[in-house]
Structure 1
Amino acid sequence: MIERPAHLSTTAEAYDAVVALYAEFVRDSLSRLPLDRAVLAAFAAFVAADGAGTVAELGCGPGYLTAHLRGLGLDAFGVDLSPAMIDHARAAHPDVRFEVGSMDALDLADGELSGIVSWYSVIHTPPEELPPYFTEFRRVLAPGGHLLLGFFESEGGPVEVFDHKVTPAYRWPIDDLAALARKADFVEVGRMLREPREDERFRRGHLLMRKR
């Protein structure tokens, strides 16, 4: 039996413990974030232009973003480490598919997906353990499939850990994260950086990439 990396169990347990609070915190968050909505809409447009196949939101939490992607016309489903988050997502969005799973070892066939959204979900992965995630993303995406990452940007500094309200997380320089994706044979399509709102601590980074 392969031993599960410690950070996965830590992350799942941390989110299990705060389901109701976290779900309420993020429930209407996109309504206040026009630039974030624009990035998601661009991702949906690229996927639709390529035939609108299946899209997975990896690290879907309570499911609000998966539901948003479906509202953009995508055949989207969600995957999350936290069983309690998945239970909440299924109750809140009964017509949407949600599964417990880890984004570094997906129960999906090679080339099954047209798109992947990882919205502030790779942030809890230690930097040295992140490259295999991009390898797995590449495996399950069809040729030309799109990957959208949302993350906390380090504003020119190095990768650094910070005290995320749920469990420790990492801020990434956008160039370094893009370089990791290139090593896994992804091509950058575009990027968006936005400054933090009054109720946010850090700059937000968004990378849209395509499997070569």
Structure 2
Amino acid sequence: MTSPAYLAAVRDSYDTLAADYFAQVPPPSGMDPLNRGMLAVFADLVRAAGSGPVADLGCGPGRTTAHLAALGLRAFGVDVSPKMIALARGNHPGLRFTEGPMAALDTASGTLGGILAWYSVHHTPPDRLPALFAEFHRVLAPGGLLLIGDWTGSDEELSPDLAFGHPVSYRSYFLPLSRLADLLTRAGLDVTARLEQEPEGRQKRPHACLLARKAPQGHGGT
């Protein structure tokens, strides 16, 4: 089946810049304390809920997947870019990485203890977010956790010509935090925490974390 144009642009762009992305983007140890703290909270909650498998969607070169594994989760990575997946497999041979889109996961319904979408949702056009979040809901087990970390904005759309010194064709969509939370709620996920941060240091725009949970069985969830 032919990929949507936006997805092909994301795949081709990240294939082009994969090596420089890996060289220039800091690993989780270089994140700010609040983001590292949210990853730790996410890991604690997943373990407390039973620690089913955790999918790192848009995993890139796999360093955050490896960080989740070090926090005690059974983490695996998914990315649409073959070159990112090759980097992830080469640098973390003990973990599983799969090439594919996060909107159509090769994962059975109701089987994941958690999903991490770490700065990967913003390449999805807003009109496709309901289907994406419905897919997240489908694969999460009852009581499963979702953590989204991403840039926010006021319904902005950007089409950069270059990233990491390479020509790119993807687009980025920066939505208000409240709209992202509403879309998660409409998908049947209960938003339990949100953290919004102002630009600071190397970060040039506001960014946020959203923590959500699929309702446990017997609590009115679908």
Output the TM-score relative to the length of structure 1.
0.94
The reply on whether 1:168 has 2:168 as its aligned counterpart is no
Sort the Cα spacing of 1:40 and 1:32 in 2 relative to 1 into closer, same or farther, 3 A.
Answer: closer
1:3 Cα shift? 3.5
Secondary structure of the 2:106 match is: coil
> What one-letter code is carried by the residue in structure 1 that aligns with 2:196?
L
1:61-140 correspondence runs (5 A): 61-140=60-139
> What one-letter code is carried by the residue in structure 2 that aligns with 1:209?
A
What percentage of residue pairs aligned between the two structures are identical? 47
Once residues 23 and 195 of structure 2 are traced to their aligned partners in structure 1, the CA distance between those partners, rounded to angstroms, is 26
Once residues 194 and 110 of structure 2 are traced to their aligned partners in structure 1, the CA distance between those partners, rounded to angstroms, is 24
1:152-191 correspondence runs (5 A): 152-154=151-153, 157=154, 159-163=155-159, 165=163, 167-191=170-194
Sort the Cα spacing of 1:141 and 1:50 in 2 relative to 1 into closer, same or farther, 3 A.
Answer: same
Secondary structure of the 1:18 match is: helix
1:172-211 correspondence runs (5 A): 172-211=175-214
Once residues 48 and 87 of structure 1 are traced to their aligned partners in structure 2, the CA distance between those partners, rounded to angstroms, is 29
Cα shift readout 1:112-167 (whole Å, capped 9, x = no counterpart):
1000000011110111111100110011000110011011111xx3x111245353
Once residues 185 and 195 of structure 1 are traced to their aligned partners in structure 2, the CA distance between those partners, rounded to angstroms, is 28
Contact 1:142–1:211 (CA<8 Å) still a contact in 2?
Answer: yes
> What one-letter code is carried by the residue in structure 2 that aligns with 1:186?
L
Once residues 90 and 7 of structure 2 are traced to their aligned partners in structure 1, the CA distance between those partners, rounded to angstroms, is 24
Sort the Cα spacing of 1:199 and 1:27 in 2 relative to 1 into closer, same or farther, 3 A.
Answer: closer
Structure 2 residues without counterparts, runs of 5 or longer = 216-222
Contact 1:59–1:78 (CA<8 Å) still a contact in 2?
Answer: yes
Sort the Cα spacing of 1:107 and 1:210 in 2 relative to 1 into closer, same or farther, 3 A.
Answer: same
1:5-16 correspondence runs (5 A): 5-16=4-15
Cα shift readout 1:44-103 (whole Å, capped 9, x = no counterpart):
011010111100000000001001111111100000000010000000111111000111
Structure 1 residues without counterparts, runs of 5 or longer = none
Which residue in the other structure is 2:45 paired with? Answer: 46
Contact 2:145–2:211 (CA<8 Å) still a contact in 1?
Answer: yes
Contact 1:153–1:204 (CA<8 Å) still a contact in 2?
Answer: yes
Contact 1:30–1:36 (CA<8 Å) still a contact in 2?
Answer: no
Once residues 98 and 8 of structure 1 are traced to their aligned partners in structure 2, the CA distance between those partners, rounded to angstroms, is 19
Output the TM-score relative to the length of structure 2.
0.90
